[in-house]
Amino acid sequence: MITVGVEEEYLLVDPETLLPAPLVQEVRATARLAPIADEGEVQDELLQAQIEVATPVCTALEEVGGHLLRLRHAVASAAQANDCRIAISATAPVKDVFPVPVTSTARYLRMRGEARQLVDEQLICGMHIHVGIPDRETGVAILNRLRVWLPTLLAMSVNGPLWDGRDTGFASWRTIIFGRWPVSGPPPHFEGTADYEARADGLLESGVIPDRGQLYWHARLSERYPTLEVRCCDVQLEADDAVMFAGIVRGLAATAIAEEKAGVAPALCRPEVLQAATWHAARHGMSSTLVDPEGRMRSSREVLCMLLRHIGPALEENGDSREVSSLVHRLLQRGTAADRQRRALAEAGLPALAALITAGATTG
């Protein structure tokens, strides 16, 4: 069984105005006192109005959901004790004219010195899914096969249409903001492990990025854990939806391993098409069309059906089929989180939006 773990990033906001609240140190200190969260499970992020949680290594999707609900509750309770709330949105719907302070670590301060405006606008939150790999060679093989599905995962996960008090016209404005860093977007196709390491080393040797932590590809090999990390998804309103993505990514990894062993050639979507497909997914979410793994435009529902057929046997083998299928069906019925944010704002204004994006700590 392939193991899985999830990291989620949240915004800390004022409960009335939704403006970012730079209180991460206070919230972390309070969360550490709670018996339901270990210190290592709750971390700082780049800006002091952000906080991150990380589940332990899990083998069942039920474990993932349980840990996420536990950690969301711990952080939400700590935030409330410090007169703020956690907002589960991929972008800050509103922001102050003054930048949020950077967390005072050497790495983050260096990033601010090199790209001040980009750092000031990093009020964005994603979800990172780690799947266990036996070795880096297998990880590269999975990357090569999974990369063509990243725009589909992004389109399903969109949760950031609002920025600076207005609708951006994009379903995931986070993706556009993050795409401005030197190394970002879909990873290239690699000839093997040596090619992966040589490209990563070449980027470091160029001096443009200081460390492998700034390989912001939408999927990459972890440098800290024996995992492959999928980073394209926006943070999800509800823990159940994060569980759905964990099941899908595990299914993609298992399918990739099976195809690699069987000698099935991977789909080779051209890099410029894959980049364009990513932009299209960030723009429209699931409301329009998507580019399929072969580079053809189809309806979003058709591409989603292709994805489920592709990973169907792996979902069955992992025991994830019923749960993932049910959650995908729910997504199609009620729309993406970006759709729900827009509906809330249109129907009842900022109070309804605030209620929606701050409720995820207590909902499945």
The CATH number given to whatever domain includes residue 109 is 3.30.590.20
Structural domain includes residue 283: yes
Q: Is the pLDDT of residue 363 over 60?
A: no
The pLDDT of residue 359 is: 85
Q: Is the pLDDT of residue 31 over 90?
A: no
Q: Is the pLDDT of residue 362 over 60?
A: no
- What confidence tier does 37 reach under pLDDT thresholds 50, 70, 90? low
Structural domain includes residue 358: no
DSSP code of residue 238: S
Residue 30's alpha-carbon distances to 25, 34, 39, in angstroms, are: 9, 7, 10
Structural domain includes residue 363: no
Structural domain includes residue 364: no
pLDDT tens digits, one per residue of 38-63: 778 999 999 999 999 999 999 999 99
Q: HSE of 123 in the Cβ direction (CA atoms, 13 Å)?
A: 28
What value does the mean pLDDT take over residues 278-285?
A: 98
> What are the backbone dihedrals phi and psi of residue 232, each rounded to the nearest 5 degrees, phi first?
-80, -20
CA distance linking residue 299 with residue 281, whole number of Å: 12
Number of H helices, E strands in the chain: 13, 13
What value does the mean pLDDT take over residues 248-273?
A: 95
CA distance linking residue 140 with residue 187, whole number of Å: 11
Name the average pLDDT for the chain: 95
CA distance linking residue 218 with residue 111, whole number of Å: 20
- What confidence tier does 242 reach under pLDDT thresholds 50, 70, 90? very high
Residue 18 belongs to what H/E stretch? none
The pLDDT of residue 35 is: 67
Structural domain includes residue 314: yes
CA distance linking residue 13 with residue 165, whole number of Å: 14
Structural domain includes residue 359: no
Give me the percent of the chain exceeding a pLDDT of 70: 97
Structural domain includes residue 362: no
232: helix, strand or coil: strand
Domain that holds residue 74: 4-353
Structural domain includes residue 361: no
Query: With contact defined as beta carbons under 8 Å apart, do 101 and 203 qualify?
Result: no
CA distance linking residue 333 with residue 323, whole number of Å: 15
Q: How many domains does the chain have?
A: 1
Name which of 93, 351, 338, 352 is nearest 233 in CA terms: 338
CA distance linking residue 236 with residue 361, whole number of Å: 11
Q: What does the block give as tokens for 150? A: 């990243």
What burial class does residue 98 get, using C-beta atoms within 10 Å of its C-beta: 0-12 exposed, 13-18 middle, 19+ buried? exposed
pLDDT tens digits, one per residue of 186-234: 999 999 999 999 999 999 999 999 999 999 999 999 999 999 999 999 9
What value does the mean pLDDT take over residues 342-355?
A: 95
Query: With contact defined as beta carbons under 8 Å apart, do 44 and 111 qualify?
Result: no
